[in-house]
Amino acid sequence: MLKEILSEAEARMKKTCELFRKELAALRAGRASAALLDRVLVDYYGVPTPVNQMATVNVPEPRLLIIQPWDRTTVSSIEKAILKSDLGITPQSDGHVIRLVVPQLTEERRQELVKTVRKKAEEERVAIRNVRRDTNDMIRELEKEGEISEDQSKRALEDVQKLTDKYIAQIDQIMKAKEEEITEV
C-alpha cells in the first residue's frame, strides 16, 4: 500500500517536471527552436491542428525557423495562426515556405523573461509541495486507521520528503538552464 502511494506521488512529481520543461521550451529565448511553435494551432478544415502536425519545421540557423507545409494551400492559414499567437514574430512567406526570423532580445525583455521563468518555477515547486502534502495526508490516514505502524509511517514520510527535495532540485536545475539560455547574448 505504501509503495503504491509513493510511486503515485513520484509519478505526479515527475509529470510536473516534464510539463515545466515543455512550458519553458515554448518560451522564446532569442534563439530559434521548433518548440516555439508547439502552442500555435492552425485552423485546418475546421480542426485546430498544431503546426508540427501539418508541416516540417527546420532550424537551419540559430535565429531562423523554416516551416514547410505538406499542403501548400495551408501556407496562409499557418501565417495567420502565427500572427495571432503570442510569439511576437512576423512570418515571411514565398508561397511555399514560411520563414520566421527570431529577433535578438533586448536586455529589458531578457529580465522580463527571467522573472517569468522564476514565477513559473515557483508555481511548479508549489505543485510538488501540494503532492507532498496530499501524500503525507494519505500516509497519516493509514497510520490513524491502524493499517501501518508508526515507524512505517515515519519512514514513508521521510521518503516523501526525499522525493520532494529531488524534484524541487530538478525544477531549480531546469530553471537555471533556461535563465542561462535567456541571458546569453
Q: What are the domain boundaries of the chain?
A: 2-25+106-183, 34-101
> Rounded to whole angstroms, how far apart are CA atoms 16 and 25?
14
pTM of the model: 0.69
41-44 and 47-50 as β-strands: parallel, antiparallel, unpaired?
antiparallel
pLDDT computed for residue 128 by the predictor: 95
Distance, CA of 76 to chain centre: 28
pLDDT computed for residue 131 by the predictor: 95
> Domain 2-25+106-183 maps to which CATH number in 1.10.132.20, 3.10.270.10, 1.20.58.760, 1.10.630.10?
1.10.132.20
For domain 34-101, the CATH architecture is 2-Layer Sandwich (3.30)
55-61 and 92-93 as β-strands: parallel, antiparallel, unpaired?
unpaired
Distances (CA, A) of 45 to 42, 73, 77: 9, 11, 10
Distances (CA, A) of 68 to 74, 109, 179: 10, 29, 31
Radius of gyration of the chain, Cα coordinates, nearest whole angstrom: 22
pLDDT computed for residue 176 by the predictor: 93
Question: Could you tell me if 63 and 78 are in contact, meaning their C-beta atoms sit under 8 angstroms apart?
Answer: no
C-alpha cell of residue 40: 500555435
pLDDT computed for residue 29 by the predictor: 66
Per-residue pLDDT tens listing for the chain (185 residues): 888 999 999 999 999 999 998 888 777 666 777 777 877 888 888 888 888 888 888 888 888 889 999 888 888 889 888 888 877 788 888 888 999 888 777 888 788 888 989 999 999 999 999 999 999 999 999 999 989 899 999 999 999 999 999 999 999 999 998 888 888 76
pLDDT computed for residue 91 by the predictor: 87
Question: Could you tell me if 15 and 163 are in contact, meaning their C-beta atoms sit under 8 angstroms apart?
Answer: no
